[in-house]
Amino acid sequence: MDSIKTYIEAHKDRFIAELIDLLKMPSVSADPAFSQDILHTAEAVKAALAAAGCDKVEICETPGNPIVYGEKIIDPKLPTVLVYGHYDVQPADPLELWESDPFDPVIKKTEEHPQGAIYARGSCDDKGQMYMHVKALEYMVKEGKLPCNVKFMIEGEEEVGSESLKWFVKNNHAKLKNDVILISDTGMLANDTPSITTGLRGLSYVEVEVTGANRDLHSGLYGGAVANPINVLAKMIASMHDEHKHITIPHFYDKVEELSREERDEMAKAPFSLEAYKKALDIDDVYGEDGYTTTERASIRPTLDVNGIWGGYTGEGAKTVIPSKAFAKISMRLVPNQDPEEITKLFQDYFESIAPEGVRVKVKPHHGGQGYVTPIDTVAYQAASKACEQTFGKAPIPVRSGGSIPIVALFEEELGSKSILLGFGLDSDAIHSPNEHYGVFNYLKGIETIPWFYHYYAESVKK
Residues in 240-299 at the binding interface with Mn ion, rule: CB under 5 A: none
The answer to whether residues 146 and 74 touch, using CB atoms and an 8 Å cutoff, is yes
- Region binding ligand BES by CB under 6 A among candidate stretches 57-65, 306-314, 375-383, 397-405: 397-405
The answer to whether residues 328 and 209 touch, using CB atoms and an 8 Å cutoff, is no
With CB atoms as reference, the residue minimizing the distance to ligand BES is 403
Q: Does 187 bind ligand BES (CB under 6 A)?
A: yes
Nearer to ligand BES, 299 or 391 (CB): 299
Q: Is the peptide bond before 94 cis (omega within 30 degrees of 0)?
A: yes
The answer to whether residues 27 and 38 touch, using CB atoms and an 8 Å cutoff, is yes
Nearer to Mn ion, 18 or 185 (CB): 185
* Burial per residue of 409-445, b for 16 or more beta-carbon CB atoms within 10 angstroms, e otherwise: bbbeebbebbbbbbbbbbbbbbbeebbbbbbbbbbbb
Q: Does 88 bind Mn ion (CB under 5 A)?
A: no
- Residue 328's CB is within 10 A of a number of other CB atoms, namely 20
Query: Of residues 16, 249, 405, 410, which one binds ligand BES by CB under 6 A?
Result: 405
Q: Residue 329: which of Mn ion, ligand BES, none does it interact with, CB under 5 to 8 A by kind?
A: none
Query: Of residues 27, 195, 198, 404, which one binds ligand BES by CB under 6 A?
Result: 404
Query: Of residues 27, 164, 195, 401, which one binds ligand BES by CB under 6 A?
Result: 401
Nearer to Mn ion, 71 or 185 (CB): 185
Residues in 102-131 at the binding interface with ligand BES, rule: CB under 6 A: 125-126
* Eight-class DSSP state of 249: S
Q: Residue 161: which of ligand BES, Mn ion, none does it interact with, CB under 5 to 8 A by kind?
A: ligand BES
Residues in 162-221 at the binding interface with Mn ion, rule: CB under 5 A: 185
Contacts of 386 (CB under 8 A, 6+ apart): 452, 456
| Cα 146–chain centre separation | 28
Give the DSSP letter string of 121-175.
TTTTTTHHHHHHHHHHHHHHHHTT---SEEEEEEES-GGGT-HHHHHHHHH-TTT
CA pair distance 215, 58, nearest whole angstrom: 52
Nearer to ligand BES, 228 or 419 (CB): 419
Q: Does 403 bind ligand BES (CB under 6 A)?
A: yes
Give the DSSP letter string of 340-389.
HHHHHHHHHHHHHHTPPTT-EEEEEEEEEE--EE--SSSHHHHHHHHHHH
Q: Residue 37: which of ligand BES, Mn ion, none does it interact with, CB under 5 to 8 A by kind?
A: none
Nearer to ligand BES, 290 or 305 (CB): 305
The answer to whether residues 388 and 194 touch, using CB atoms and an 8 Å cutoff, is yes
Residues in the chain: 463
Smallest gap from residue 163 Cβ to ligand BES (A): 10
Residues in 120-149 at the binding interface with Mn ion, rule: CB under 5 A: 125-126
Residues in 351-380 at the binding interface with ligand BES, rule: CB under 6 A: 367
Smallest gap from residue 132 Cβ to ligand BES (A): 14
Q: Does 407 bind ligand BES (CB under 6 A)?
A: no
The answer to whether residues 123 and 451 touch, using CB atoms and an 8 Å cutoff, is no
The answer to whether residues 347 and 205 touch, using CB atoms and an 8 Å cutoff, is no
- Region binding ligand BES by CB under 6 A among candidate stretches 38-46, 136-144, 272-280, 399-407: 399-407
Q: Residue 406: which of Mn ion, ligand BES, none does it interact with, CB under 5 to 8 A by kind?
A: ligand BES
Smallest gap from residue 298 Cβ to Mn ion (A): 16
Q: Does 64 bind ligand BES (CB under 6 A)?
A: no
Query: Of residues 70, 79, 102, 161, which one binds ligand BES by CB under 6 A?
Result: 161
Q: Residue 403: which of Mn ion, ligand BES, none does it interact with, CB under 5 to 8 A by kind?
A: ligand BES
Q: Residue 25: which of Mn ion, ligand BES, none does it interact with, CB under 5 to 8 A by kind?
A: none
Q: Does 203 bind ligand BES (CB under 6 A)?
A: yes
Q: Residue 367: which of ligand BES, Mn ion, none does it interact with, CB under 5 to 8 A by kind?
A: ligand BES
Helices (H) and strands (E) in the chain, counts: 12, 18
- Residue 88's CB is within 10 A of a number of other CB atoms, namely 26
CA pair distance 251, 305, nearest whole angstrom: 18
CA pair distance 148, 77, nearest whole angstrom: 9
Q: Does 446 bind ligand BES (CB under 6 A)?
A: no
Q: Residue 187: which of ligand BES, Mn ion, none does it interact with, CB under 5 to 8 A by kind?
A: ligand BES
CA pair distance 322, 311, nearest whole angstrom: 10
Q: What are the C-alpha distances in Å from 9 to residues 139, 194, 217, 457?
A: 12, 22, 68, 25
Q: Which of 448, 389, 460, 461 is nearest to 1 (CA)?
A: 448
Nearer to ligand BES, 53 or 288 (CB): 288
Summarize as ranges the residues that interact with ligand BES (CB under 6 A): 125-126, 158-159, 161, 185-187, 200, 203, 367, 401, 403-406
Summarize as ranges the residues that interact with Mn ion (CB under 5 A): 125-126, 185
